[in-house]
Each structure stands twice: as structure tokens, then as C-alpha cells.
Copies of this chain bind each other. A is one copy, B any other.
Amino acid sequence: MPNKPTKETFVTEITPRSEDFSRWYLDLVRRAELADYSPVKGCMVIRPYGYAMWELIQQALDARIKATGHVNAYFPLFIPNSLLTKEAEHVEGFSPQVAYVTHAGGEELEEKLVVRPTSEAIIGTMYANWVQSWRDLPILINQWANVVRWEKKTYPFLRTTEFLWQEGHTAHETEDEAEAETLKILDLYADVCESVLAMPVVKGRKTESEKFAGALRTYSIEALMGDGRALQAGTSHNLGQNFAKAFDIKFQARDKSVQHVWGTSWGVTTRLVGGLIMTHGDDSGLVLPPNVAPYQVVIVPIGRENWRETVLPKALEIQRALAGAGVRVTLDERDERPGWKFAEWELRGVPLRLEIGPKDIEKSAVLVARRDTREKQSLAMDGLPQRILQLLEEAQANLLQRARQFREEHTQRAGSYAEFREMMEGRPGFVIAPWCGAADCEARIKTDTQATIRNMPTANVPPGSCVRCDNPAKAEAWFAKAY
């Protein structure tokens, strides 16, 4: 569990969300001690309270990754430059963003090393050694790692030069198996976002211009932030045989022929912590879904100066009872006014606050305040842990429901380009429209409106014509302005 927050802050007040969403986000990240700027350009420090959220996300994701038959491993941070350049599209996509180690151990290196921006190149090289026969397939490996992509403009959690992620890399006998894996992981990601982060996502395929450098097809999950901008929350790539051909990953098939494997790769990052903040937060600070809250309950003792004698013993007893029921609970024993403590823990988004004073003890009750609805109610001490677990479930479900409703209210369909452009004023959320499939049309829409195609949830071809160019529609696309 993270340290108790200290009074020391860099930001004393947070800008109201309604006034300036971006300022609100930056203030909140620092004031709630989620992250801090570092002396390294574009790199942030993830502080204990923010890191505890990432650990909860990791646990949920890792359990699901293992339950679907994958195993973890670890591959080197450095990639010899000659390996990165083997897959032509891949190197073209990543080389502008890479960091190079040129000197080490007091010498200039013969070949410069790339600090991994992603690990297809190094993992593909190893798979080529490990795979000989169809019996060696599938390979279902994941790694938890840091990666580096030199970004011109960075933003805490959403876009940083170094970030933490998991990257799955799999190799299969057949094209169908690789496609099934790609979609299975997309579902797994959507499940974690919805059931843990209470963040609904749209699953769909990316356009050719937005796909991963070197992939056959990229799928993504897209969430809608509180300001009406979309956030790409995870991607799953069907790599086809591109990397297998570039890295010579071959196997003897059941029919004795020698074939290239079919690959996938997929990842989610610390960006999810940013998505969580932007989905649920309000003017008072964070609002955390219980499943990803480092503390699900804070107990605040109320009373006169002698509260340490009159109230604290009962508060400790409740803390023990809740902890025993598996609740992540903290007790704020600091010598501060209760009102100050309430504001601090609201800022940190703790789902439930329990207030307990001498009168509550007399009545054998506690006052419970929900962060998500701000409702207060008195609960009997008797059976408290069960009731708290129930309230946590209710808060979790309510946040997902609220976020779903917000997305529904911010999703529209456009019939004409005039209507599309009008809808795209400001930050409206998603606009669904038919699209011809042409990259120049997609680019033109972006120039006109700043909106990009987030993804295409269905492979069905819609009737009618493209929202912009009047050519026959090839796909129904979800557009939005995005982070």
C-alpha cells in the first residue's frame, strides 16, 4: 500500500475540470501524487499512489494472460540496429523515434544498439532459433517491460518517452489461429478495461494508415475521455507472415513442407492509468473504481481532542474487520481536521469514506460516504464488512454504467459531410459514418476536422456512400478527435 499522502504539494489547488480539462488533468496527476516530472526530458516518475494502480492493472491482466495459456519471459532491452532494419515497414515506422546507445564500457560500440521501442525484432530473432517443427507451436509468450520512443510532445501517462507495458508475441501454425489469437486478446483487453477500470471501450479494426508498422492488421480498443476525446487504450496486431519472413521463423509443417509461422503481437501500457483518471475524475479530484483503487476504504475518526482515546480503538477494530474481509483499507490517524482529511481523500478518489465519532459508537453505527455518488448513509456495525463489499460492487457497477451512458450520449451518426463537420466542432465524442476506405479521404477528413478514424468495429459493409467523397462505402468508421 502507498505511503499516506504528505501535505507537501507542488499544486495546492486543482483547476476545475469544467474550466480547463487539460490543466485539471495535469494538476491532478501531481496533486494526487500519481506522477512527477523528472530531470529527463519526456520521462516521468510514477509515484507510489499511481504505481499501486498500475500494479492492480498488472495483476488483473497477468492473471488473464496466464489463464489463456500464455507464459512470461524476458528479452534484452537492447536491439542491434541491424535487426531492427530487417522488416522494412517496421524500421520505417520506428526509426525516427528510437534512442541509440553508441558508447559503453568506456568504448565506442562497433554496432549501435537501439533501446527497444517494441520487441518484435529481438523476439523474432529468438523464435527463429526455437521453432523447428509444428510441435513447437504455438509459442505464447508475454513480457512485462519498459520501452522507449522519443516523443516530441509528452503528457503524463498518455505519452511519455519511456513507458511500462506488457507485450505479447505469439507464433502459430496457421493464419486462422493467428487471427483468432489477435481477437481473443482484444476481448481480454476489453474485459480488463470494463471490469477493472470501469472504462467501456469500442473494439474494432484500425485503418491501413493507422496500423502497426509491419502488421497485416491492427485492432484496437478505444475509450472516450471525459472531455470528448478518444483514447486508444490497447492494440492487438495480426502480423501475418511479415516478421516470420524478415526473421526467418520457419517450421516443418504436418505435411512435411517448410513454412513460415503466423505471428501476433499486442500490448497495453501505463497509459491506462491516464485513461482511468480522465474517464471518471471530477472537479474534486480522482474517482476510482474499487477494483483499481489502492485504498478502497478510508476510515476517518471524528471527535473532540480526545478522539485517540474515545474513537480510535473502535476505528482500529473496524479496520481489522475490513482488512480481514479482503478490503484494501486505511485509517487516517493524522492530527488534522476531519474536513481537511475528507477533501484529501476525495482528491485521491477513495471509493468509500467511513466516518466514525462518539455518537456513531453509541448507536453502534458508522457513516459511509460514497465518492462516486456522494451519497451518505449510516450503517450498522453489525455485518459491516459484507455491506461494505456490497457497496464497493455497487460503486464499481455504477461507474461503468455512468461511463457507458456518457459514451452513448456522445456518440452520433452523420449522414452528410456538412453534418459530419458540424458535429465535429469542439470535442463531441464519437461520430459514426460510412467511409470509402481510401487513405486520402481519411487524411482529408483529418485536415478538415482534426478527427481520425479510431477504428471500425464491424467488417460489414454499410449501404450508401462515403461521408466525404460519395464513393461507395466500404466500412462504417468511428471517428473522434483523439489523444
Residues of A within 8 A of B (CB): 1-3, 6-8, 36, 38-40, 43-48, 51-52, 54-55, 66, 71-80, 83, 96-106, 112-113, 115, 122, 125-126, 129-133, 135-136, 139-141, 145-146, 148, 150-152, 162, 164
Kindly list chain B residues whose C-beta atoms are within 8 Å of the C-beta of A146.
77, 145-146
> In the complex where A8-B133, A115-B101 touch, is A72 in contact with B45 (Cβ < 8 A)?
no
A101: chain B residues at CB < 8 Å are 99-102, 115
Q: Are the C-beta atoms of B3 and A76 separated by less than 8 Å?
A: no
The answer to whether A75 touches B7, judged by C-beta atoms less than 8 angstroms apart, is no
Q: Are B51 and A73 in contact (CB under 8 A)?
A: yes
> What residues of B have a CB within 8 angstroms of the CB of A43 in the complex?
76-78
Interface SS of chain A: mixed
Q: Which residues of B contact A126 (CB under 8 A)?
A: 36, 38, 45
Q: Is the Cβ of B72 less than 8 Å from the Cβ of A51?
A: yes
* Interface pair B40/A140, CB less than 8 Å apart: no
Residues A130 and B83 in contact, CB atoms below 8 Å apart:
no
Q: Which residue of chain B has the shortest Cβ distance to A146 in the bound complex?
A: B77
Complex contact B141–A80 (CB within 8 A): no
The reply to whether B46 and A8 contact each other, CB–CB distance below 8 Å, is no
In the bound complex, residues from chain B placing their C-beta under 8 Å from that of A55 are 72
Q: Are B39 and A8 interface neighbours, CB within 8 A?
A: no
Is the pair B80, A39 in contact by a Cβ cutoff of 8 Å? yes
A98 contacts which of B47, B77, B104 (Cβ < 8 Å)?
A: B104
Verify B162–A77 contact, CB threshold 8 A.
yes
Residue in contact with A164 in the complex, picked from B74, B97, B133, B148, CB distance below 8 Å: B74
Once A48-B71, A66-B1, A99-B101 are accepted as A-B contacts, the answer to whether A40 and B78 lie under 8 Å apart by CB is: yes
Q: How far is the CA of A431 from the CA of B344 in the complex (A)?
A: 58
Q: In the docked arrangement, what's the CA distance between A113 and B99, Å? A: 10
A40-B80, A55-B72, A101-B101 known; 12 new pairs, CB 8 Å cut-off, are A6-B135, A45-B74, A45-B76, A48-B71, A51-B72, A52-B72, A77-B162, A99-B103, A101-B115, A105-B150, A105-B152, A145-B146
Whether A96 contacts B104 in the complex (CB less than 8 A), given A36-B126, A45-B73, A45-B126, comes out as no
Which B residues lie within 8 Å of A113 (CB)?
Answer: 40, 99
Bound Cα distance from A170 to B421, whole angstroms: 55
- Report whether A141 and B48 are in contact in the complex, using a CB–CB cutoff of 8 Å: yes
- Bound Cα distance A72, B135 (Å): 41
Contact status B105-A96, CB under 8 Å: yes
Residues of B within 8 A of A2 (CB): 71
Closest residue of chain B to A62 (Cβ to Cβ) is B55
- Contact of A132 with B45 at beta-carbon distance under 8 Å, contacts A72-B55, A77-B146, A152-B105 already known: no
Measured between beta carbons, the chain B residues less than 8 angstroms from A77 are 43, 115, 146, 148, 162
> Which residue of B3, B51, B129 contacts A74 across the interface (Cβ within 8 Å)?
B51
A130: which B residues are within 8 A, CB to CB?
6, 8, 36
Contact A75 B139 (CB under 8 A): no
Q: Which residue of B lies closest to A46 (CB)?
A: B74
| C-alpha gap A7/B133 in the complex (Å) | 10
A105–B149 Cα distance when bound, in Å, is: 8
CB distance from A461 to the nearest CB of B (A): 40
Known contacts being A8-B136, A74-B51, A83-B39, is A99 close to B106, with CB within 8 Å?
no
Taking CB as reference atom, which chain B residue is nearest A79? B40
Known: A46-B74, A72-B52, A129-B36. A100 touches B103 (CB 8 A): yes
- 28 A-B Cβ contacts within 8 A? A1-B66, A1-B71, A3-B71, A6-B135, A36-B130, A38-B75, A39-B80, A39-B122, A40-B78, A40-B113, A40-B122, A44-B76, A47-B73, A48-B73, A48-B141, A51-B72, A55-B72, A76-B162, A77-B162, A96-B105, A99-B101, A99-B103, A99-B104, A101-B101, A101-B115, A105-B151, A106-B150, A146-B146
A52 to B78, CA, bound (A): 22
What is the bound-complex CA distance between A102 and B43, given in angstroms?
16
Cα distance, A162 to B48, chains bound together (Å) = 25
Q: Does the CB pair B40–A76 fall under 8 Å?
A: yes
A44's nearest neighbour on chain B, judged by CB, is B76
Which B residues are CB-close (under 8 A) to A139? 3
B residues less than 8 Å from A100 (CB atoms):
101-104
A434 to B391, CA, bound (A): 65
